[in-house]
Structure 1
Amino acid sequence: MEIADWREKIDELDVQIVQLISKRAEAARAIGALKKQTDMPVYEPKREQAVFDRVKAANPGPLDDAQLMHVYERIIDVMRSIQK
């Protein structure tokens, strides 16, 4: 494939990523509402660690676990802010 082909592939993947992140944000917002109703804390370190562990276990590469965790830490930060 040529560079233009790879870029087109990346553009298509970006649309899918945005759609999935939006769905994740909807779920986070719903969880935030439930946490508010039940006086649960937004920050749950054990749950976040479970997410990180599951993501690392599913990582096929080429990102190493540290790189993937960098991305996921930011995603989790944003989702936590949505829950507030």
Structure 2
Amino acid sequence: MTIDEIRQEIDRLDSELLRIFNERATLALRIGEIKKGLHLPVYDPAREKRIFTRMKGENPGPLDDQAIVRLFERVIDESRRLERIMTNQERN
């Protein structure tokens, strides 16, 4: 493959990641609505730990487990931030 072909494949994957990130965020918002109705906190450290453990167990590389955890920490942090924003907007 040429550099341009590889970059096109990266662009395709980036577009797919964007779709997946937004789909995940939509689902996180739905969970946030349920948590709000049940008066549960947005932050669930046990759930996050299970996610990290599962992702490390499924990680085939070449990214090491610490990189995978950092990536998922960021994704989860943004989902949590979005949940908090939406919850605050509903109160106003």
TM over 0.5: yes
Output the CA distance in 1 between the equivalents of 2:82 and 2:47: 16
Output the CA distance in 2 between the equivalents of 1:65 and 1:26: 26
Runs of 4+ in structure 1 displaced over 4 angstroms?
Answer: none
Which one has the largest radius of gyration?
A: 2
1:14 deviates by 0.5
Q: Alpha carbon RMSD of aligned pairs, Å? A: 0.7
Report the equivalent of 2:79. 79
Output the CA distance in 2 between the equivalents of 1:29 and 1:75: 13
Report the equivalent of 1:60. 60
Aligned length in residues? 84
Identity %: 42
- Flag structure 2 segments of 5+ consecutive residues without an equivalent: 85-92
TM-score of the aligned structures, taking structure 2 as reference length: 0.88
1:68 deviates by 1.1
TM-score of the aligned structures, taking structure 1 as reference length: 0.96
Higher relative CO (Cα under 8 Å, sequence separation at least 6) belongs to 1
Report the equivalent of 1:28. 28
- Flag structure 1 segments of 5+ consecutive residues without an equivalent: none
Output the CA distance in 2 between the equivalents of 1:54 and 1:23: 20
1:75 deviates by 0.5
